Amino acid sequence: MLNDMENERRNNNKNEDSRMRGFRPSLRGMMLVVAVIWIGVAALYGLLKPISNGCIMTYMYPTYIPISTTEGVSSAKYGLYLYHEGWKKIDFTEHLKKLNGIPVLFIPGNGGSYKQVRSLAAECDRAYQGGPLERTFYREAYLAYKEGGNAEIADIQLPNQYANRLDWFAVDLEGEHSAMDGRILEEHTEYVVYAIHRILDQYKESHDARESDGAATTGSLPRSVILIGHSMGGFVARAATIHPRLRRSAVETILTLSSPHQSPPLALQPSLGDYYKSINQEWRKGYEVQTTQTGRYVSGPKLSNVVVVSVSGGFNDYQVRSKLESLDGIVPPTHGFMMSSTSMKNVWLSMEHQTILWCNQLVVQVSHTLLSLVDSRTGQPFPDTQKRLAIFTKMLHSGIPQSFNWKMQPQSPWSAQVLAKDVKDTAVSQVHTLSDCPSSFHWNDDILERDLYIQTTTVTILAMDGRRRWLDIQKLGSNGKSHFIFVTNLAPCSGVRIHLWPQKGKSSSDLPAGKRVLEVTSKMVQIPAGPAPRQVEPGSQTEQAPPSAVLHLAPEEMHGFRFLTISVAPRPTISGRPPPATSMAVGQFFNPDEGEIDFTPVSMLLSIHSHKDIFLKEDHPLAFNLSFAISLGLLPVTFSLKTAGCGIKDSGLLDEAGDNENTKLCKLRCFPPVALAWDPTSGLHVFPNLYSETLVVDSSPALRTSTGAEKTNVFLLLDPHCAYKASIAVSVTSAASRFWLLYFSQIAGFCVAVVFFALMRQAHARPIPSILKAVESNLRMPFPFLPFVAVPILLSLFFSFLVSQPFPPFSSFTIVLIICYLLANGIVILLILVSQLVFYVAAYLHVFIKTRWQLWEGNFGFLFLHWFMNLSSRFFSLKFFDSLIAQPCTKKGIRLQN
């Protein structure tokens, strides 16, 4: 009998070992699990760490005035409110009677509230009372758009004071989750159409009420409503614009903030994707000329008067990517554009999905932009489409170019063609100059001190000395150094002016007739400067100021001229303003090829293990163009810059002991570095004071809709008088977080496919393998791994061929697809192991508790406790029975006796 028990025990152990082997992953599976855990932890660290966006809070005193709803509204659960800024209580009825501004309707997004209108509305009220911003904010901005292949530049004059205030309305959509269901989007669209009509009718009612009271009525009634949408509210605004019940020309201007236009961020239901597809298709037709079947002209485009501007939050917006916010293929460039907050004038910041509604830098800029749309003659928005688009461009866009490839830009894109103006009396002299500097900044040659003649390719200005520097273009621009770049913190026109001269002369009047002096100050563009310099000790030298303006002149722009002059204003500035605490300006003739540095995919991937160091000796080019073969939206890099010398000692690297003193000393002599990153998807990103920073852009490469090689160019400005040690390495945490953000939906889809594929193998295999073995079979080479990866690639190429779209980048698309497939298998294996661990822990606890219980049952203490519990239960049951008998007897007056 003992032998039988021993054999049974051995058989049970063998069965247990066989079952355990079915749940032990192979080496390939364990490697995938470790990779998934490592990438997941790195991604969580990158996503959960606090974000410093640099935004300033917006403060307000909100009051929300309800607008009465007419009878027969299908969506009676929604509401409409008018915003009022002020801490004093007001009479709602009397306030509505005075309604005579420009109507603006705010549409909240997924789960949003109508109260989110308060930041924009409050800043608009303050902007209207305070007046327009200074002209210096918009001096370098010009509208450049292509029409018929020719670039046109429109000069839009900004108003001296705003003609009319903005009346902000907001719809209360009950905080419904419109990003989850297409039907909810349709209901929101229908109510927004009603709200637009109700707002226009309210202005008519207010006008009639003032007339009946005998009050003065001035101005015309508004014909349209400006729509401002956040997140899904931006798509609702576009959907309402093409609604069949909307009045004609009721919507002509739309501004969206972090709104997905191409497709929903996460299409959980087919109705959501279908609604997106139908709305975008109607918008594409809306800009086409209406014709009959025979080709006969019927009318112009339905949306010919509608302007749409989409503003994205940049790489810090984890919910909606810039690629989804693009208007490409939906709105033509002649009627709208998309731009990132990182490239918006006076903003230059990336912000989260909700922060874009209250970030004061952006809110102020948007408020002044909307107020500038009002025509001073009529008090209503400009009816001309191109006029409104020009104002949006001039108020939001900066003059910084969208690319930094010198060879592809024979004409600087930030330059503006301005009409020539006479310097002297045109009847006597024919000397002309091109200048957009105001007349208040006109300089006489008498105020300039003795001229300086520069003999080196690099010129440095450290003080406002009121002198003019002469540079010989023919001499200094030789040996391939045909480009000129200039950076400064002096204000253009008032602080510094740059001219091109055909020959040397004391003043422009000394030149022969027919010779002209060309002022190129207008080509200088503003860039965001870092923090103001500080003094290390009282009375000591101040740190170098960061550059705030940059100028680039190509050889074609200097052709025909012999000299270039840099004129600096004297310290008591012409405009009467106090001079800057520190003055800096550096100009250089350089060869673009010397500043070209390419980072191949191999070098970027190798930098994960060991960072790449670059040593720059003194007298290096001022401008560097770093080209990254893989987009920084997928592989962000950590760029560290250390000053190694600044002309005091040998230009070589100093020892570690003198690093701190060297850094302090060089900050007094070298201007802070600046990096400008450009991505074809998200546009411009500026990184001032770049000493140690993670360079990241908001891009979505390696998708089926991606076309061409999506690279990132980084334009780097470094002081040529200083030596640097640059270190570049791919940031693992940032890369992991970006990968999860960009391809989470693809990985989730692969996970579902992997599970179904494993179930299919279990159904066909004999004997039935464990689910873990079935999943691991997906990783076998060449089958089924290669077909499982190749099928999505072939399908994407086939769909691209059907819709006549350019093929996606094959290499990056294939690599990312394989990585997503491997991560999906690793996630499924990890889930299986975790679930098995949970089941084993639960089984172990169950056996442990049951065993302990059985041991306690034979214990004397347990028997006594059991006896005591039975006795207690009988006692309480007896007391409960007595109470049941005593209660009815007491009611009948019966007295119970023992």
Rounded to two decimals, the pTM is 0.82
**Residue 775: which residues within 8 A CB-CB, separation 6 or more?**
29, 754, 755, 758, 825, 828, 829, 832
- Tell me if residue 97 falls in helix, strand or coil: helix
In this prediction, residue 146 has a pLDDT band, given cuts at 50, 70 and 90, of very low
Query: Cα(247)–Cα(250) distance, rounded to whole angstroms?
Result: 5
pLDDT at residue 586 tops 90: yes
pLDDT of residue 421: 34
CA atoms in the 13 A half-sphere facing the CB of 590: 26
In this prediction, residue 10 has a pLDDT band, given cuts at 50, 70 and 90, of low
Query: Cα(563)–Cα(530) distance, rounded to whole angstroms?
Result: 32
**Pairing verdict, β 637-645 and 692-695:** antiparallel
In this prediction, residue 442 has a pLDDT band, given cuts at 50, 70 and 90, of low
Query: Cα(763)–Cα(757) distance, rounded to whole angstroms?
Result: 10
Give the DSSP letter of residue 397. Answer: B
pLDDT of residue 651: 42
In this prediction, residue 517 has a pLDDT band, given cuts at 50, 70 and 90, of confident
Would you say 657 and 735 are in contact if contact means Cβ atoms under 8 Å apart? no
Whole-Å CA distances, 803 to 701, 708, 774: 20, 17, 37
In this prediction, residue 884 has a pLDDT band, given cuts at 50, 70 and 90, of very low
Residue pLDDT, tens place only, 149-180: 333 334 566 677 898 999 999 999 999 999 88
pLDDT at residue 427 tops 50: no
pLDDT of residue 143: 29
Structure tokens at 457: 């390719």
Higher pLDDT, 741 or 810: 741
| Amino acid in the structure at residue 126 | R
Higher pLDDT, 136 or 872: 872
Residue pLDDT, tens place only, 822-834: 899 899 999 999 9
In this prediction, residue 509 has a pLDDT band, given cuts at 50, 70 and 90, of low
Query: Cα(146)–Cα(344) distance, rounded to whole angstroms?
Result: 21
- Tell me if residue 352 falls in helix, strand or coil: coil
pLDDT of residue 886: 52
Would you say 762 and 771 are in contact if contact means Cβ atoms under 8 Å apart? yes
Residue pLDDT, tens place only, 591-627: 988 888 999 888 888 888 888 888 988 889 999 999 9
What average pLDDT does this structure show over 352-363? 94
Residue pLDDT, tens place only, 302-312: 898 999 999 99
What average pLDDT does this structure show over 573-585? 62
pLDDT of residue 72: 63
Residue pLDDT, tens place only, 628-683: 988 888 889 999 988 888 866 544 444 444 566 666 777 778 888 999 998 888 88
Would you say 318 and 666 are in contact if contact means Cβ atoms under 8 Å apart? no
State percent of the chain over pLDDT 70: 73
Query: Cα(120)–Cα(358) distance, rounded to whole angstroms?
Result: 7
Most confident stretch, 235-249, 404-418, 534-548: 235-249
**Residue 210: which residues within 8 A CB-CB, separation 6 or more?**
97, 98, 216, 217
Query: Cα(809)–Cα(475) distance, rounded to whole angstroms?
Result: 45
Would you say 687 and 693 are in contact if contact means Cβ atoms under 8 Å apart? yes
Q: Which residues pair with 344 in a beta bridge?
A: 397
Query: Cα(836)–Cα(841) distance, rounded to whole angstroms?
Result: 8
